[in-house]
Copies of this chain bind each other. A is one copy, B any other.
Amino acid sequence: MLPIQPARFLEDLHNLRGFGAAGLGKGVVRPAYSEADIAARGWLAARITEAGLRVHVDPVGSVFGLAEGPSLLLGSHSDSQPEGGWLDGALGVIAALEIARAAREAGGPAVSVVSFQDEEGRFGVTTGSAVWSGSLTLKAADLLVDRDGVSFGAARASMPGRSEMFVDPSQFSGFLEMHIEQGPVLDRESEAIGVVDAIVGIRDMKITFEGEQNHAGTTPMQGRRDAFQAVSRFNTLLADRFANVVTPRTVWTIGHISLHPNASSIVPGRATFSMQWRDGDADRLGRMEQIIRDTAQEVASSGGFELRFGPMLGLEPVKMDTRLRGALETAAEAEVPGRWRVMPSGALHDATNLSGLMPVAMLFVPSIGGISHAFGEDTAEADLVTGLSVLAGAVAALG
């Protein structure tokens, strides 16, 4: 077993929380390239150097701590949501730091550390690891803009100490990421660890029903082509039709809707809404897509609406590497026998991008109340330490 020091680990985790502390509970405001984010990465680089690793800040600002020669890579991200918690990303980074330190102190195995930049998507989606993995070119990334119109290119230029070189991924034998669950399952079941079997795939597209805008007083119900009614009918039919296709882990969401002209006295002539669905199985995602398209077409045809589908964002499900995942399962059973489970990750992580470069695996610790992307995000410190121990056990076994 590696000589991990839980107190040192927790102290660093709380230290990192000081950068961008929201002043509300343990919340942090540390979006990518903010002053707090850049300062936090500077602090992390100093810790990495202290640990005897070589600091490398890549062109987009992802901070690596490199062991010599071939190594296992551990990490996550240290940027936060605009209003975020102290553990989302930070936990995986500081756990990686502690395990790399302990491994050096024990004389091996070789462990490298990373904190990716802009995982939370101020500009894109998991932008730093997407660029590193090649799924997004640096040129395309530079053109992405945040809500205030700032470009990724301008933002990364503001970060000091970057190298012009990306890290060569061939030096890593695999990637392990510890993360909070960001959902309610482990907390509700009083379990300590989730070993991820797959990061779910996502399909996301905008759908538009175009009906007829009318006066809400003078247009009888019978002749209306009310675009909101089309969305409501589509939503209701969809739930019925999904029933025989989905599993309890499948999710779908209409999270965005825009009516035109969106006024109480006008029958809405147009409704555009987001349809997003996630599942660990690519076939199921495809079957759901067919149901969505057929149901929307049926609503449009029967009600006299014009139907438009926007471009579909598709991210394929990513299965975790069997060997790495097995090491996490063995370590979990040793640490908390019977109090862990295998589960999918419903959220995207940097591990999704890295799966194209090397074997990857992930483990979760509970999120109290399932809360994340909010100041109230938290995990019991005992659970944080359990996660650290399981990760250390897996690293030792993978040697």
Residues of A whose CB lies within 8 Å of any CB of B are 181-185, 188, 200, 202, 204, 214-223, 226, 228-229, 231-233, 235-236, 246, 248-259, 262-268, 274, 276, 278, 345-348, 370, 372-373
Contacts and interface: CB of A to CB of B under 8 A. Distances in A.
26 contacts: A182-B218, A185-B220, A188-B223, A214-B370, A215-B347, A215-B372, A217-B345, A217-B348, A218-B347, A218-B370, A218-B372, A220-B248, A220-B249, A221-B250, A222-B248, A223-B370, A232-B235, A232-B236, A233-B236, A253-B267, A255-B267, A256-B262, A256-B264, A257-B262, A264-B276, A265-B276
A346 B218 contact: yes
A19 to B, nearest CB: 24
A244 to B, nearest CB: 15
A55 to B, nearest CB: 32
A216 B255 contact: yes
Copies of this protein in the assembly total 2
Given A215-B182, A217-B347, A219-B183, A255 B251 contact: no
Given A182-B215, A215-B346, A223-B184, A228 B251 contact: no
B276 A255 contact: no
User: Most B CB atoms within 10 A — which of A232, A233, A267?
Assistant: A232
A347 to B, nearest CB: 4
A266 B83 CA distance: 14
A239 to B, nearest CB: 9
Contacts of A256: 259, 262-264
A233 B182 CA distance: 27
Given A236-B232, A259-B255, A264-B256, A278 B217 contact: yes
Given A219-B346, A228-B257, A236-B236, 14 more contacts: A184-B223, A214-B370, A215-B346, A215-B372, A217-B345, A217-B348, A228-B235, A232-B232, A253-B266, A256-B262, A256-B263, A256-B264, A257-B259, A264-B276
